[in-house]
Structure formats: C-alpha cells, structure tokens
C-alpha cells in the first residue's frame, strides 16, 4: 500500500514531468501519429514511460525497464 506522503511525492513528480513534456513541445500521439486531444498529465507521463521502457528493452536493459514498469503501475494506481 502506498502512503499518503509517497502518493503526494509521485503526483508532484508526475506534474513536474508533465510540465517538462509541455515545455519541450512533446505531443502524445496515436499509432498513426495524430495528436491525442485532452491527454491527462498521468496519461502523458505513462505514455512517455512506456516508450522509454521499450527503448531500454531494445538495449538489453531489462532490469531498468522492469523498475520503470513498477513505477508506471504506481502512477496508474493513483488515478
């Protein structure tokens, strides 16, 4: 179970990453490359984590990818 403090820290981190995504002009797209309207901060961060995990797996860094999967699960549980 995640404590309230841990939950708050995760939400703060999600918000910071979402702000960075927006500042960098990164757009979350569907499989055809079309921007998805109304993507939440959590969804944007989860999409970016999924993309990065796939990159890590292609590089053979399975342990790092699993760690990020666990983080993604924690973020998804906060919804």
Number of compact structural domains in the chain:
1
Q: What is the pLDDT of residue 21?
A: 87
pLDDT for 16-46, tens place per residue?
A: 998 998 888 888 888 888 888 888 888 889 9
Alpha carbons 47 and 67: distance in angstroms, whole number: 15
Prediction pTM value: 0.75
Alpha helices by DSSP H, the chain: 4-23, 41-58, 62-77
Cα(28)–Cα(7) distance, integer angstroms: 24
For residue range 38-79, what is the model confidence (pLDDT) as tens digits?
A: 888 888 899 889 999 999 999 999 999 999 999 899 888 875
* Residue-number span of the structural domain to which 23 is assigned: 4-77
CB distance 71 to 52 below 8 Å: no
């Amino acid at each position: 179970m995640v404590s309230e403090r841990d939950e708050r820290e995760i939400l703060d981190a999600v918000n910071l990453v979402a702000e960075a995504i927006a500042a960098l002009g990164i757009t979350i797209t569907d499989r055809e490359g079309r921007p998805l309207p109304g993507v939440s901060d959590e969804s944007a961060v989860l999409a970016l984590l999924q993309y990065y995990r796939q990159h890590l797996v292609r590089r053979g860094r399975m342990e790092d990818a699993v760690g990020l999967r666990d983080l993604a699960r924690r973020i998804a549980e906060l919804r």
